[in-house]
Amino acid sequence: MSDTIKYLLSEDQVPKVWYNILADLPEPLPPVIHPGTGQPIGPDDLAPLFPMALIGQEVSADREIEIPDPVRDVYRTWRPTPLHRARGLEKVLDTPAKIYYKYEGVSPAGSHKPNTAVAQAFYNKDSGVKRLSTETGAGQWGSALAFACAHFGLELDVFMVRVSFDQKPYRRAMMETFGARCVASPSEETQSGRAILAEHPDSAGSLGIAISEAVEVAAQSDDTKYALGSVLNHVLLHQTVVGQEAMLQMEMAGNWPDILVGCTGGGSNFSGLVCPFLGAKLRGGAGIRVVAVEPAACPSLTRGEYAYDFGDTSHLTPLVKMHTLGSTFVPPPFHAGGLRYHGMAPLVSHLKQLDLIEAKSYHQTECFAAGVQFARAEGIVPAPEANHAVKGAIDEALACKEAGIGRTILFNLCGHGHFDMQAYTDYFAGRLNDQSYAESELAMALSGLPSVAAE
Ligand SMILES: *Cc1c(COP(=O)(O)O)cnc(C)c1O
């Protein structure tokens, strides 16, 4: 069946384990450092914020970690997700490349985020936690966790980055529909929020600020823990169901990808797709090129420094080694709210350092142009974040055309854009401009990087 366009797995093919690439890497991750002592942190340092099961996964060296049945049961309500051959797009581009995409927009929140939200809610409930606090950028993570908390019977407070709170009222309504409480960040509810507002009353907010608020709430309450939607090892681990399914589906298609593409905010959807493939390569499998695509307005992997830094603006988190723009860097407001984080996952940063992946950045209008071209050819309107992956894949396909080589490209279409139509409206009206970050502000944020003796 040479013209198949959709590869579907059965419910019992939902993966039974998460794949941990740390077991296959040639070098371990640099340790996480306690900012007070300058020494590597231990499990007890994280216990106020996370349940022990997740802390165990954060530092695990096991290649495979079993997915608990209650989590797998929820996964089965929308997983396995489909893998499509983008025949429409191939035709429009007139490329000899074969383009495939894994579509995570079929989940209850419309993105890959529920893959980890369900797991995190399960482990918290299992350890007796009553309430979670979290941050959200565009609202994707907040709505995914709200869905998961509703399922397992947990309360949820969401600190939503101010600019998205104003731009995306429907995401907020979705969180409230699932029973969560949603607050614009910076807020008056926390010390961190009040300090920012005192200095910048009109602050557009940032993920770094919202994380400070959510961490502060969890640290101060016994029955409340914190949940993060990206960046951490256990989050990236939970996303590997995406890549494991895609490997089976590429086998069904009788093709193996030469090039993988994903967009990177904190790095979770990208890792979810690419780590199982990279693991196979590291264990002696076929070579593969892996491309991470990020916005030019918040270019941590391409322009950041690989250094120890805080994960949040108010410096409540431990120090992690990552590509960072500096924890006080506030990216300009742009529509791919999910990509406005000052740092990159330590694991993705490490993969970049080991030369296992490449990184590229694009401006938002060229990404929207790619998303519109994709929508017209394939019938799915991508999330603005996902448009970065679409743009990256299209550029690879056009390079194949130029070189006259028919490579196989697979990208992660990590979410749909049904709640982001205002951004598309702004794009069509010519109201989107390509903001670059201010070089001077970046230099200032980077000059404030903490010094760490262990380096
Ligand atoms: C949150 C989000 C992102 C960015 O987060 P990653 O951890 O880098 O995946 C990208 N796309 C969508 C649709 C999102 O919801």
Q: Is 344 in the pocket of ligand 1 (CB under 6 A)?
A: no
CB-facing half-sphere around the CA of 26: CA atoms within 13 A? 9
Strand 181-185 with 98-103, pairing = unpaired
Summary count for the chain: helices (H), strands (E): 19, 15
Distance CA 150, CA 10 (A): 26
Q: Atom of ligand 1 at shortest distance to CA of 268? A: 7
Distance CA 189, CA 435 (A): 31
Model confidence pLDDT, tens digit, residues 248-271: 999 999 999 999 999 999 999 999
Distance CA 437, CA 443 (A): 11
CA-wise closest residue to 102 among 285, 254, 250: 250
Tell me, in angstroms, the distance from the centre of ligand 1 to residue 89's CA: 23
Helix axis angle, 207-219 to 191-199, nearest 10°:
150
- List, in sequence order, the alpha helices (H) in 265-383: 268-282, 300-303, 346-353, 364-378
- If you average pLDDT over every residue of the chain, what do you get? 94
Distance CA 229, CA 134 (A): 8
Assess if residue 182 is contained within a domain. no
Assess if residue 296 is contained within a domain. yes
CA nearest ligand 1 atom 4, residue:
265
Residue whose tokens read 């296959």:
24
Tell me the whole-structure pTM to 2 decimals: 0.96
Tell me, in angstroms, the distance from the centre of ligand 1 to residue 434's CA: 20
Model confidence pLDDT, tens digit, residues 391-410: 999 999 999 999 999 999 99
Average pLDDT over residues 417-434: 93
CA-wise closest residue to 235 among 347, 133, 132: 347
Assess if residue 398 is contained within a domain. yes
CB under 8 Å to 210, separation ≥6 — which residues?
Answer: 135, 136, 137, 159, 160, 161, 185, 186
Which domain range does residue 81 map to? Answer: 5-14+68-110+234-447
Q: Is 322 in the pocket of ligand 1 (CB under 6 A)?
A: no
CA-wise closest residue to 110 among 364, 318, 381: 381
Q: How many domains does the chain have?
A: 1
Residue whose tokens read 């740390």:
22
pLDDT at 113: 98
CA-wise closest residue to 392 among 103, 141, 101: 101
136 DSSP 8-state letter: E
Distance CA 7, CA 9 (A): 7
pLDDT at 433: 85
Pick from 42-51, 80-89, 275-284: least confident: 42-51
Average pLDDT over residues 171-193: 97
Distance CA 240, CA 121 (A): 17
Q: Is 338 in the pocket of ligand 1 (CB under 6 A)?
A: yes
User: In CATH, what number is assigned to the domain containing residue 310?
Assistant: 3.40.50.1100
Residue 181's DSSP bridge partners are 157
Distance CA 407, CA 393 (A): 11
Assess if residue 386 is contained within a domain. yes
Q: Atom of ligand 1 at shortest distance to CA of 239? A: 9
Distance CA 444, CA 329 (A): 8
Assess if residue 356 is contained within a domain. yes
Distance CA 67, CA 71 (A): 7
Distance CA 184, CA 169 (A): 11
Model confidence pLDDT, tens digit, residues 31-77: 999 999 999 999 999 999 999 999 999 999 999 999 999 999 999 99
Assess if residue 152 is contained within a domain. no
**SS3 category, 157:** strand
| pLDDT over 70 at 218, yes or no | yes
Name the residue type at position 71. Answer: V
Helix axis angle, 114-126 to 140-152, nearest 10°:
40
Q: What are phi and psi of 83, to 5 degrees?
A: -115, 125
Q: Is 268 in the pocket of ligand 1 (CB under 6 A)?
A: yes
**320 contacts 346 by C-beta, under 8 angstroms:** yes
Indicate the helix (H) or strand (E) that contains 359. strand 358-362
Tell me, in angstroms, the distance from the centre of ligand 1 to residue 262's CA: 10
Model confidence pLDDT, tens digit, residues 325-355: 998 887 776 676 667 788 999 999 999 999 9
Distance CA 95, CA 199 (A): 52
Q: What are phi and psi of 58, to 5 degrees?
A: -60, -35
Residue whose tokens read 């264990």:
283
pLDDT at 230: 93
Assess if residue 422 is contained within a domain. yes
pLDDT at 164: 87
Q: Is 301 in the pocket of ligand 1 (CB under 6 A)?
A: no
CA nearest ligand 1 atom 15, residue:
140
Model confidence pLDDT, tens digit, residues 351-364: 999 999 999 999 99
| pLDDT over 60 at 437, yes or no | yes
**Mutation test residue for ligand 1: of 81, 106, 113, 419, the one with most atoms within 8 Å of CB:** 113
**SS3 category, 358:** strand
Q: Is 409 in the pocket of ligand 1 (CB under 6 A)?
A: no
**Token duo for residue 31:** 């340790």
Average pLDDT over residues 142-147: 98
Q: Atom of ligand 1 at shortest distance to CA of 414? A: 13
DSSP structure string for 379-413: S--B-HHHHHHHHHHHHHHHHHHHHT---EEEEEE
In angstroms, what is the C-alpha Rg of the chain? Answer: 20
pLDDT at 196: 95
Tell me, in angstroms, the distance from the centre of ligand 1 to residue 38's CA: 31
Assess if residue 169 is contained within a domain. no
Distance CA 269, CA 379 (A): 22
Distance CA 191, CA 421 (A): 34
> Where would I find the beta strands (DSSP E) of 129-223?
131-136, 155-161, 181-185
